[in-house]
Amino acid sequence: MTYWEVKQQLFSMESRAGVAATPGALPYYVALSQLLGLTVVAMTGAWLGLYRGGIAWEGALQFNVHPLCMVIGLIFLQGDALLVYRVFRNEAKRTTKVLHGLLHVLALIIALVGLVAVFNYHRQKGYSDLYSLHSWCGILVFVLYFVQWLVGFSFFLFPGASFSLRSRYRPQHVFFGATIFVLSVGTALLGLKEALLFKLGAKYSTFEAEGVLANVLGLLLASFGVTVLYILTRADWKRPPQAEEQALSMDFKTLTEGDSPSSQ
Amino acid sequence: MTYWEVKQQLFSMESRAGVAATPGALPYYVALSQLLGLTVVAMTGAWLGLYRGGIAWEGALQFNVHPLCMVIGLIFLQGDALLVYRVFRNEAKRTTKVLHGLLHVLALIIALVGLVAVFNYHRQKGYSDLYSLHSWCGILVFVLYFVQWLVGFSFFLFPGASFSLRSRYRPQHVFFGATIFVLSVGTALLGLKEALLFKLGAKYSTFEAEGVLANVLGLLLASFGVTVLYILTRADWKRPPQAEEQALSMDFKTLTEGDSPSSQ
């Protein structure tokens, strides 16, 4: 083959595989999501610093480690892990997968620190554990998140799972991933509300500065969630299948006559 | 044409149009959603009856109209309105649309009654309005829901909008519909938490019966939300396009060379 022929073949493979320009509006939505996410993290820090005495691992301030870790891990990093396949559209699938898995591991570790902090604090103070709706939702979300990670790892990163098994599990993984993310945002809002009502009580209704700040933080948390889900679910922003995958999928289709996998 | 020819033509139109058997598992998931939805409504009633003195339009019990109306309107009926296109798969598109619109109107009216109840109650008691995160989220959700209904009506039921405009707006309508539903569930959880903490305070941590009942209600609310979204988003459960629509879409495609609309 001449260079020109190879070049032409590559071009035709690329256009079939959809290695196309990133959709025009996507970067703006991604930027918005990052702006919202970072604002939420910063505002949680500001709330804890201004109205709750800051953060420490020992003593009464240990409680404050909990909301900060949860917002960084289970909101910001979990949200960003979901966006990896939309942002890195033309990287090798394997690289994207590894990044997706790593971000989730990081989120899981930070959330675990946040979990240990609140249980430690409760023990120190002699409070009971796991009595509130926030704590029930929280422990459920954490367990689901861990299970989702394990199952995701064994299907998609571990080499064992067959191609058809992967393509049948993929939509379930995506749905439950999005669901766990939404539940995380909801649980954070419940926790924020709990922290406010325990401290402010009836003063909440006098528009105390802390209450207003926390309400705005709550709306921003919800907005981050909605923005991430919008980017994730928009059909024309899905990751295009790549040349390697397409070829593979063709091979397997010929071999197994199974259904063709939809790209993540 | 002979009867046989007509019959054959009908059969070929139907199979082209995807008038197929309902997917096997769908009815079970729909049944589960209805079981969860009705349990949530009944349990809200039981909670208000057992622990909050029941319901009345006059006096202190007027507050209790609020959670009951919101759960019936913005949770149960809104959720069911989203499922109309999955449940009535082979009815004429127009009938399904009208039912979808009517269920949303009913939900909106019931929610409005719930909204009036809480504002009335606050005025009676001299409480301030709209200070909490629950109220901010609630008023936002109500306004968004009303706007979504108006825009949906003018695009899909009012005869003015063009075919290509409809098919471009449809994915946005679906995304924002699902988002408003999720926000409604989240707002209900915040309200439940608020009602618990205001009344129980520190007693919440002693596993009072009311607290445990309300926590279970909260988990069931979240489960109803997840089940509805699962049915709504599963790709192979989407409503198949019908003969009339397909023919129409062909005509318009030929006329306008626009993009083909995806079925709801």
User: Which of A29, A136, A82, A115 is closest to B215 using CA atoms?
Assistant: A136
Q: List the single residue in B136, B185, B230 with the smallest CB-CB distance to A219.
A: B136
Q: How do residues B221-237 score in pLDDT, each as one tens digit?
A: 999 999 999 999 999 99
Determine the Cα–Cα distance for residues B62 and B67; give it in Å rounded to an integer: 10
Checking if the pLDDT of B250 tops 70, the result is: no
Residue in chain B closest to A171 (alpha carbons) equals: B234
Chosen for mutation from B47, B122, B133, B233 (greatest number of chain A CBs closer than 10 Å) is: B133
* Chain B partners within 8 Å of A198 (Cβ): 197
Q: How do residues B152-194 score in pLDDT, each as one tens digit?
A: 999 999 888 888 999 999 999 999 999 999 999 999 999 999 9
Considering the segment(s) A27-230 as one domain, its CATH architecture is Up-down Bundle (1.20)
Determine the Cα–Cα distance for residues A195 and B224; give it in Å rounded to an integer: 26
CA distances, A184 to each of A32, A48, A107, B50, B186 (Å) = 20, 20, 12, 31, 11
Checking if the pLDDT of B252 tops 90, the result is: no
Chosen for mutation from A127, A128, A133 (greatest number of chain B CBs closer than 10 Å) is: A133
The pLDDT, as a whole number, for residue A250 is 52
Q: Would you call A193 and B190 a contact, using CB atoms and an 8 Å cutoff?
A: yes
Shortest CA gap B59–chain A (Å): 21
* Chain B partners within 8 Å of A168 (Cβ): none
The pLDDT, as a whole number, for residue A13 is 55
Higher pLDDT among residues B39 and A256, named by residue: B39
CA angle B57, B60, B64 (to 5 degrees): 60
CATH 1.20.120.1770 fits B25-231, yes or no: yes
Shortest CA gap B186–chain A (Å): 6
Higher pLDDT among residues A4 and A233, named by residue: A233
* Chain B partners within 8 Å of A192 (Cβ): 133
The pLDDT, as a whole number, for residue A242 is 73
Shortest CA gap A5–chain B (Å): 33
The pLDDT, as a whole number, for residue B111 is 98
The torsion angle over the Cα atoms of residues B258, B259, B262 and B264, rounded to 10 degrees, is -40
CA distances, A157 to each of A93, A150, A180, B181 (Å) = 11, 10, 20, 34
The distance of Cα A134 from the centroid of its chain, to the nearest Å, equals 19
* Chain A partners within 8 Å of B134 (Cβ): 193
* Chain A partners within 8 Å of B230 (Cβ): 175, 179
Q: Would you call B194 and A193 a contact, using CB atoms and an 8 Å cutoff?
A: yes
Full DSSP string of B104-120? HHHHHHHHHHHHHHHHH
Query: Quick one: tokens of B46?
Result: 């039981």
Residue in chain A closest to B126 (alpha carbons) equals: A205
Full DSSP string of chain A? --HHHHHHHHHHHHHHHT--PPPTTHHHHHHHHHHHHHHHHHHHHHHHHHHS----SSGGGGGGHHHHHHIIIIIIIHHHHHHHHHHS-SS-HHHHHHHHHHHHHHHHHHHHHHHHHHHHHHHHHTPPSS-SHHHHHHHHHHHHHHHHHHHHIIIIISTTS-HHHHHHHHHHHHHHHHHHHHHHHHHHHHHHHHHHHHHHGGGGGGT-HHHHHHHHHHHHHHHHHHHHHHHHH-GGGSPPPPHHHHHHHHHHHHHH--PPPPP-
Shortest CA gap A251–chain B (Å): 24
What is this model's ipTM? 0.87
Checking if the pLDDT of B73 tops 90, the result is: yes
* Chain B partners within 8 Å of A196 (Cβ): 133
CB within 8 Å of B39: residues ≥ 6 apart: B220
Q: Per-domain residue ranges for chain B?
A: 25-231
Angle between helices B209-233 and B26-51 (to 10 degrees): 160
Checking if the pLDDT of B11 tops 90, the result is: no
Name the phi and psi angles at A88, rounded to 5.
-95, 80
Q: Can you tell me whether residue B14 is helix, strand or coil?
A: helix
Q: How do residues A45-82 score in pLDDT, each as one tens digit?
A: 999 999 999 999 999 999 999 999 999 999 999 999 99
Determine the Cα–Cα distance for residues A28 and A38; give it in Å rounded to an integer: 15
Q: List the single residue in B127, B186, B194 with the smallest CB-CB distance to A186.
A: B186
Q: Would you call A137 and B229 a contact, using CB atoms and an 8 Å cutoff?
A: no
Q: List the single residue in B127, B128, B179 with the smallest CB-CB distance to A226.
A: B179
Q: How do residues B99-150 score in pLDDT, each as one tens digit?
A: 999 999 999 999 999 999 999 999 999 999 999 999 999 999 999 999 999 9
Confidence of residue A159 (pLDDT cuts 50, 70, 90): confident
Residue in chain A closest to B138 (alpha carbons) equals: A219
Query: How high does pLDDT run on average in chain B?
Result: 89
Determine the Cα–Cα distance for residues A84 and A96; give it in Å rounded to an integer: 7
Q: How do residues B17-45 score in pLDDT, each as one tens digit?
A: 445 578 889 999 999 999 999 999 999 99
Binding-site residues on chain A for chain B (CB distance < 8 A): 127-128, 131-134, 136-137, 140, 171, 175, 179, 182-183, 185-186, 189-190, 192-194, 196-198, 204-207, 211, 214-215, 218-219, 222, 226, 229-230, 233-235, 262
